[in-house]
Amino acid sequence: MSADYFSDSRPYEVRWHGRGGQGAVTAARTLAQAAHLGGLGGATASPSFGAERRGAPVSASTRISPEPIMVVSQIESPDMVVVLDQTLLKDDEVIGGLGSGGWLVVNTARPPDRLGVIGDFSVATADATAICRELGVMVGGLIVVNTAMLGAVARVSELVALANIEEVIRRRFSNRSAELNLAAIEKTYRTTLIERRP
């Protein structure tokens, strides 16, 4: 892990956007658990606060730091924004506060240069929906992309090791489910497309 992630003693901040039921909160928690497992002294994960409804836009956040995290307010300037449903990009607030040096990571079939999002941050895309459909990563008939997208996050950032994410998944799920999710993470990690800016 590079010390560059933690310049000016700020935690590294990831904001997750998805729709209720897609598992944005679980993804935020899994990433924080993986960071904690990797020995980082500070890791927090929270849902967006208040009522949540299936299908409605939701967000969640992960903060990671080598030091205990003292900040409990909401993320203002994320270092990374992960979008589980590309239709959410219509709302400008999704990339709100994402600046130079940041990462936008989107679940979409499109490559980064055809995403149509303008900003001076780097962009990564992965077709987690197709990967999860093919592998059968589903809950109650719905494709669930949250764990797969952790593969894309690991690909663009060395902040949290892929091995630690996989270990959290192994602890969390039963054998068959764990294997499915790990396969989705691995394939998403491998097929993530990256466009660095500037």
Task: Specify the residue, 35 or 130, whose C-beta has the smaller distance to another protein.
Answer: 35
Which tokens sit at 151? 């593969």
- Nearest-approach distance from CB 77 to another protein, in angstroms: 11
Task: Specify the residue, 54 or 133, whose C-beta has the smaller distance to another protein.
Answer: 54
Identify any residues that bridge with 54 across adjacent strands, giving them in sequence order: 20
- 3-class SS of residue 65: strand
List of E strands, the chain:
12-19, 42-47, 57-65, 80-83, 103-107, 122-126, 138-139, 142-143, 193-195
**Could you list the residues that contact another protein (CB under 8 A)?**
9, 29, 32-33, 36, 41-47, 49-51, 68-74, 76
Task: Specify the residue, 77 or 100, whose C-beta has the smaller distance to another protein.
Answer: 77
- Nearest-approach distance from CB 131 to another protein, in angstroms: 27
Q: In the chain, how long is the greatest CA-to-CA distance?
A: 45
Task: Specify the residue, 62 or 86, whose C-beta has the smaller distance to another protein.
Answer: 62
- Nearest-approach distance from CB 149 to another protein, in angstroms: 18
- Nearest-approach distance from CB 32 to another protein, in angstroms: 6
Strands 142-143 and 12-19 come out as unpaired
